[in-house]
Amino acid sequence: MKKILMTLLVVSCMTANTARAQQGAAVGAGSTYSNPLSIAFGDPFVLKDGDMYFMYGTGGGAKDGFSVYSSPDLKSWKDEGQVYFGNNKNGWGTGAYWAPEVYKRNGKYYMFYSAQWRHNPTKEEENFKIGVAVADKPTGPFVDMQDKPIFDPGYPIIDANVWFENGKTYLYYSRCCYKHPVKSEVSEWARKKGWYKEIEESWVYGVEMKNDFSGVIGEPVLLLRPPVKMDIAEWESRSVTSREVNRRWTEGSFIFKKEDTYYMMYSANNFDGQNYAVGYATSKSPLGPFVKAANNPVLQKNGRVTGTGHNSITMSPDGKDMLCVYHGRTKATGHERLVFIDKMEVRKDGKLVVYGPTMKD
């Protein structure tokens, strides 16, 4: 019965996703850009600064650091080169430079990112932490504010996202799957099938951060995790149910506020696989509790694009449209991740919808 239910849910989600993509094309999504962009970024983040856009991401030709592209219109992009180097005077990382996000505060530009921390006395394979670097311009050069991560919660963390409100600063991140086995109906199902002995999971946390970004205030709060029940949000378990890997992800969070509601978008499934997809949850507080939406996933693979995930949000040049910026893969580009931009909106009924993935003919 569960297998039948899961099949019906998959078909239903894929049908709804195709309809959303078609509607997105009909309402003019892509009128100022063409998917996919010729930018080989994973985890793309767009900063709109005045009349210019600046896009940061994982990879894109950067070596032990991050590059940036600039654009006046989201269509024509200029490669500004590498703007952060891990070997800067305060650099603390040794590789795995991932998921940069840049925020403008008081005339300065602050880059939050993940990297492998060189302080690793127990020789962990995944020793990721989050740091922050500062620059006078969005094109850098960015230099780490201190020679260590912002904080060490005692487990590897990635995918920083930051929210500012009422004089407070909040940091969101994902606890990695590494050495984090979790019992659930999905893990028991996989164990009984003889596929995996355990299922590791990544969870999204939030914590208040000092306004100078030098550390955190209080203890992190668990905000999002994969479902415990087998028949709930089956889309978040496809990395396991497709026998791809013994991990379930909840990562790449991005928070924004609409009226009095906080929306947290997040990505689930293997970031390196075809089933990577995006959902969202809502709350009345920046630190939750968050409730996942019934219309998830709002962005997932279709017949032309796979691996859709780790999104950020920006506004169109005329300020009228919300745009979802994410990475994906196509048959033509193979395993390489490229940037996509599609229109999104929060409807009057409060539902978040992404009109994608779309792709030029």
User: What amino acid occupies position 203?
Assistant: W
Query: Taking the model in full, what pTM does it have?
Result: 0.91
Residues 134, 101: contact at Cβ < 8 Å?
no
Does residue 56 have a pLDDT over 90? Answer: yes
Residues 224-280: tens digit of each pLDDT? 999 999 999 999 999 999 999 999 999 999 999 999 999 999 999 999 999 999 999
Q: What is the mean pLDDT of the chain?
A: 92
pLDDT class for 360, splitting at 50, 70, 90? confident
Residue 247 φ then ψ, to 5°: -140, 150
Task: Tell me the CA distances in angstroms from 18 to 5, 232, 344, 356, one per residue in order.
Answer: 20, 22, 14, 8
pLDDT class for 28, splitting at 50, 70, 90? very low
The pLDDT assigned to 295 comes to 97
| Closest of 166, 171, 163, 102 to residue 138, by C-alpha | 102
What is the distance between the alpha carbons of residues 49 and 104, in angstroms, rounded to a whole number?
A: 8
Residues 185-222: tens digit of each pLDDT? 999 999 999 999 999 999 999 999 999 999 999 999 99
Residues 99-111: tens digit of each pLDDT? 999 999 999 999 9
Sign of CA dihedral 98, 139, 132, 218: negative
pLDDT class for 361, splitting at 50, 70, 90? confident
| Closest of 62, 61, 59 to residue 99, by C-alpha | 59
pLDDT class for 34, splitting at 50, 70, 90? confident
Residues 279-318: tens digit of each pLDDT? 999 999 999 999 999 999 999 999 999 999 999 999 999 9
Residues 221, 264: contact at Cβ < 8 Å?
no
The 3-state DSSP class for residue 186 equals: helix
The pLDDT assigned to 32 comes to 57
User: What amino acid occupies position 59?
Assistant: G
The pLDDT assigned to 31 comes to 53
Residues 360, 34: contact at Cβ < 8 Å?
yes
Alpha helices in the chain (DSSP H): 2-26, 185-192, 238-241
